[in-house]
Amino acid sequence: MMKPMLLVIALFTMLLAGCGGMPKPVIEAAKPRADATNVRVMMAATNYDDAWDKENVRLRCHQIWLNDDDVPTNKEQVLDAAYNGRQGDKRAVLKMKDTDGRSTTRVRLQFELVSGENKTNENVSAGTTLEWYVPSSLANKDILMVAVVSRKGKNSYALDVLYGMDPATGELVQILPSYDAQ
């Protein structure tokens, strides 16, 4: 009777004390060029079923440049990540410059959740355009965007939450829904 009690006390003590001797991860991310942020995307399904693979769910992102009057002047596709494809392996680059080529921490991004078996029956389920103010701690980094997605119906999906994460430090920033939209 005494041995099981000592075991429980020992385990409880270890849990309370923690594992302070565990080393922190050492991640050497690719350093982007000046005035750029590298991004990769991973998607997590909240209600996965076989339809996800059949409907070819993808998350697209475009970077939009505005002129001085806030009129869109240029749009460039940054990434197109498939749920049933290899996730997180393709690195895209956000150019942290304005239309005149000056450095900026403000980037306008357009996100679209697209589904469809091929380009002829493609459907945009959800989309939003936001001005993402890159925190200085994530600027000029190699970050991972984690998208939490749910299926609403046939070829209909919702982008529930989107996070930006620096894998080297573990810092996590919520991109969507943005706090100013609430």
- What value does the mean pLDDT take over residues 77-84? 91
Q: What is the pLDDT of residues 37-78, one digit of tens each?
A: 888 999 999 999 988 888 999 999 999 887 777 788 888 999
Coil, strand or helix at 173: strand
Coil, strand or helix at 4: helix
Coil, strand or helix at 8: helix
* Cis peptide bond prior to 4, omega within 30° of 0: no
For residue 107, the model assigns a pLDDT of 77
pLDDT of 79 above 70 = yes
Q: What is the pLDDT of residues 15-26, one digit of tens each?
A: 555 555 566 667
Coil, strand or helix at 85: coil
- Higher pLDDT pick, 88 / 2: 88
Which two three-digit tokens encode residue 126? 């959800």
d(CA 91, CA 111): 16
Burial of 70 (0-12, 13-18, 19+ CB in 10 A): exposed
8-state DSSP, 120: G
